[in-house]
Amino acid sequence: MAASDIDLISGGAIGPACEPGEFQFGFSGLDHGHAYGMSSALIQAGGRVAAVYDPDPAKTAAYTAQFPQARVAASLDELLEDPSVSLVACAAVPSRRIETGLAVQGAGKHFFSDKPGFVSLEDLARARSSVKKTGRIWAIYYSESVHNEAAVYAGALIRQGAVGKVLNVVGLGPHRMAPATRPDWFFDPSRAGGILTDLASHQIEQFFFFTGVEDARILMSRVRNVTQPGHPDFQDFGELALLGPGGESGYFRVDWFTPDGLGIWGDGRVTILGTEGFIEIRKYIDIGRDPQGDHVYLVNGRGEEHRKVTGTVGFPFFRNLILDCLRGTRTAMGQDHAFRVAELALQAQESALYSGA
């Protein structure tokens, strides 16, 4: 058992990664709301947002209203030429993230992309080449594990041996569509990536995170378009199954069918079966019991337990990402790990059986 795992379960405080002003980042591309979660998490971990760029002034105005310390840059180049900026984060339209990342790393800075990091295997290959050439980090925001306390807590329990060896992971990733609020690019897989490339990337990363494997093969993938005949290439339902190198298995369902009556955008859940017990994570809501999330249910030979873990473990990924940028280490998430997750999601999307409505 690692000391860091003991610290997590005991609720040890996770302080800032650095002194104020020691780590500064910029943000370029505000097309997805994840920009706010990515920024908040980096700031809470000790970072400071120096500047923001987006061609839409309404988006930058909304961003600086929440993060007034950020100056509005006139271009991406202004961020790249700022010597105080160590990392540039990006939540642009998914198909545009690759060009931003290449420019950022070409300028000698680290890059932090919203998921999906890529919409094609060709783009992923370009990113791998850039990392090899520059030696810089290309991080991806797999928020359902790195920015969810219940997932972080469950991962620490697993590493402590609470359920024995993990045999199977089942993940559910439902989302509310609210189509009238969605921009045109959302319905175009060439720009958004498709439902498995996008939403299922979270689920694949969780499979790696909870099982401890670094590779898997796709046993099955399938997509459907049930509700959007006006957008024939869009998919609102997807599923896939994975097999790990040691026999670990996983099934994952993603969809855009969260009903309006639910008090949150999606009832994300994960069930992890081990040789000595199981864990269920109710990430964002406990229906009929608690409108807030971060619920971990643990059953093993010692009994059954429910833990509400908000405020107990924090989000070590962001602290470690800052330290990695400052020290030249790779502790937040391995580069091969981040890219292999993206690759599997893209491959699952490309090979998916399409069953129509």
Whole-number Å distance between alpha carbons of 278 and 169:
10
Tell me the domains of the chain and their CATH numbers.
Answer: 3-141 (3.40.50.720), 145-316+346-354 (3.30.360.10)
- Please give the structure tokens belonging to residue 340: 């292999």
Q: Closest Cα partner for 26 from 55, 57, 47, 56? A: 47
Which backbone phi and psi does 161 adopt, to 5 degrees? 90, 20
What is the percent of the chain with per-residue pLDDT over 90, rounded to a whole number? 95
Whole-number Å distance between alpha carbons of 311 and 314:
6
Return the pLDDT at 9.
53
Q: Pairing state of beta strands 110-114 and 269-274?
A: unpaired
Q: Closest Cα partner for 75 from 115, 28, 39, 113? A: 28
Tens of pLDDT, residues 161-220: 999 999 999 999 999 999 999 999 999 999 999 999 999 999 999 999 999 999 999 999
Whole-number Å distance between alpha carbons of 207 and 218:
12
Whole-number Å distance between alpha carbons of 115 and 175:
15
Tens of pLDDT, residues 235-278: 999 999 999 999 999 999 999 999 999 999 999 999 999 999 99
Residue 152, CA distances (Å) to 73, 158, 274 in order: 35, 10, 17
Whole-number Å distance between alpha carbons of 228 and 131:
38
Return the pLDDT at 357.
65
pTM: 0.95
Label residue 355 by pLDDT band (50, 70, 90): confident
List the Cα angle 146/150/156 in 5-degree steps. Answer: 75
Q: Looking at this protein, which amino acid is placed at residue 11? A: G
Under 8 Å between Cβ of 17 and 46 = yes
Tens of pLDDT, residues 59-117: 999 999 999 999 999 999 999 999 999 999 999 999 999 999 999 999 999 999 999 99
Return the pLDDT at 11.
45
Whole-number Å distance between alpha carbons of 130 and 144:
26
Q: Closest Cα partner for 147 from 5, 316, 285, 17? A: 316
Q: Which residues contact 318 (CB under 8 A, 6 or more apart)?
A: 17, 41, 42, 44, 45, 47, 146, 147, 332
Q: Which residues contact 74 (CB under 8 A, 6 or more apart)?
A: 53
Residue for token digits 């893209």?
346
Whole-number Å distance between alpha carbons of 323 and 332:
9
Helix (H, G, I), strand (E, B) or coil at 115: coil
pLDDT at 1 over 60: no
